[in-house]
Amino acid sequence: MALLEVQAISKRYGEGHTAVTALEQVSFALEAGQLLAVLGPSGSGKTTLLSIIAGLLHPTSGEVRVGGQSVAEAQGGGAAFRRRNVGIVFQDYHLIPYLSARENLLLVPHLDGRVRGEDRARADGLLEEFGLAPRAGHRPPMLSGGERQRVAVARALMNEPQLMLVDEPTSHLDTERGFQVVELLRAQIHGRGTTCVMVTHDERMAAHADQVIRLLDGRVVDRPATGDKDLSG
Partner 1 sequence: MLALKELLNGKVRFGLIALAVGLVVALTMLMSAMSEGLITGMTGAKGSLKADALVFQGDTQLALERSLLSAESVSAVAESPGVENAYPVGHAMISVAPAAPEEAKASGDGAGGDEASFDARLFGLGGEWEQLPRVEGEAGPPGPGEAIVDVTAQVDGIELGDTVSLTPIGRELTVVGFTENRRYIMVPTFYVDMPTWEDIYLATALGKTAEEASGQGEDLPEGSQQPPAEGISPALGGSASIVAVELSDGVSPAELEGNLGAGFEVATPEDAALAGNGMSVMVLATDGIQWVSLIIGALFIGVFFYITTLHKTGQIAAMKALGASNVYLYRQLLIQIAVLVTVAAAIGMFLSLGAGMSMPPTMAFDPQPVGWGLSLLAVYVMALVGSFFSLHTILRVDPATALDRGEH
Chain residues that interact with partner 1, rule: CB under 8 A: 42-43, 47, 50-51, 54, 56-57, 76, 79-80, 82-83, 88, 90-92, 94, 96-99, 103, 107-108, 110-112, 139, 167, 233
Q: Closer to Mg ion at the Cβ: 44 or 194?
A: 44
Question: Which residues make Cβ contacts (< 8 Å) with residue 44, sequence separation at least 6?
Answer: 215, 216, 217, 218, 225
For the bound state, the minimum distance from the C-beta of residue 37 to Mg ion, rounded and expressed in Å, comes to: 14
CB 66 within 8 A of CB 163: yes
Stretch that binds Mg ion, among 13-21, 40-48, 62-70, 136-144 (CB under 5 A): 40-48
Q: Closer to partner 1 at the Cβ: 152 or 184?
A: 152
51 touches Mg ion by CB under 5 A: no
End-to-end Cα, the chain, rounded Å: 33
Stretch that binds Mg ion, among 41-49, 68-76, 131-139, 171-179 (CB under 5 A): 41-49
Q: Closer to ligand ADP at the Cβ: 40 or 140?
A: 40
Contacting positions for ligand ADP (CB under 6 A): 13-14, 20, 22, 40, 42-48
DSSP result, 183-207: HHHHHHHHHHT-EEEEEES-GGGGG
Rounded Cα distance between 152 and 174, Å, is 17
- Of ligand ADP, partner 1, Mg ion, none, which one sits near residue 110, judging by CB under 5 to 8 A according to partner kind? partner 1
47 touches Mg ion by CB under 5 A: yes
Rounded Cα distance between 120 and 102, Å, is 9
For the bound state, the minimum distance from the C-beta of residue 150 to ligand ADP, rounded and expressed in Å, comes to: 23
CB 169 within 8 A of CB 135: no
Q: Which helix (H) or strand (E) holds 151?
A: helix 145-157
Q: Which amino acid is at 213?
A: I
For the bound state, the minimum distance from the C-beta of residue 11 to ligand ADP, rounded and expressed in Å, comes to: 8
